[in-house]
Amino acid sequence: MRLILFGAPGVGKGTQAKILASRLNIPHISTGDILREAVKEKTPLGIKAFEIMSRGELVSDDIMIGIIHDALNQTRCKDGFILDGFPRTLPQAKEIEKLFTELKLENIFYVNLTANSDEIIRRLTNRRACKVCQSIFTLSEIQDKEKCPVCNSACSFYQRDDDKEEVIRNRMEIFNTTTQPVLDYYERRGNLVTVDGLGAIDDITASILTSIEAKLE
């Protein structure tokens, strides 16, 4: 099975990606992770990406498509994959479709996790990070704790800039402006699955799988 995941910041996309990858026994491919890996491994595209990033510029779509091509060509992806972080814009969506055609990949499902904006803001502003290991927790998880549950360091927890309300609202505005045309594009093509991202985690996973199965019928 091949899934492309979409969702605004804080909707639980990363959580669902990990669960689905384990449940379906397919790799979760984060475009951020494979970009960093390509740079670390000094692949030809990774070297180009590093040169661009070192100038403070964004990596071009053609380089990202090339890095995704290399990742999807790996043996671990032969039975499927879960991709997130790409595409974010309509031109990227059209380019990645060309890549899927080139690789002869079919039965690709685009999954959009949604949530009320106020709930997303509540979720993210409720998060805190460990100053030592940077692990993220909800306030309820660290209430009355004097040590980090992950690294066991005696430290204070802090709110990341990304989890402050004004930053969250800006990120959501960018997501809605750039990604909504992509979702509309896939909706018109009939291969978009939209699932409510609020509720119990297991229930959301079940809804995603049920919705995909319905598309297969």
Which residues participate in catalysis according to the annotation? 13, 88, 127, 160, 171
Q: Parallel, antiparallel, or unpaired: how do β-strands 192-196 and 157-158 relate?
A: unpaired
Measured torsion, CA atoms of residues 26, 29, 33, 39, in degrees rounded to the nearest 10: 100
Q: In what order do the strands lie in the sheet with 2-7?
A: 28-30, 81-84, 2-7, 108-114, 192-196
The alpha-helical segments, DSSP class H, found in the chain are: 13-24, 31-41, 44-54, 61-72, 90-102, 117-125, 139-142, 165-189, 201-216
Strand, helix or coil for residue 82: strand
Integer Cα distance of 137 and 127 in angstroms: 6
Integer Cα distance of 49 and 36 in angstroms: 9
Q: In this structure, what are the phi and psi dihedrals at residue 14, rounded to the nearest 5 degrees?
A: -65, -40
Integer Cα distance of 11 and 176 in angstroms: 13
Lookup: tokens for 155: 């430290």
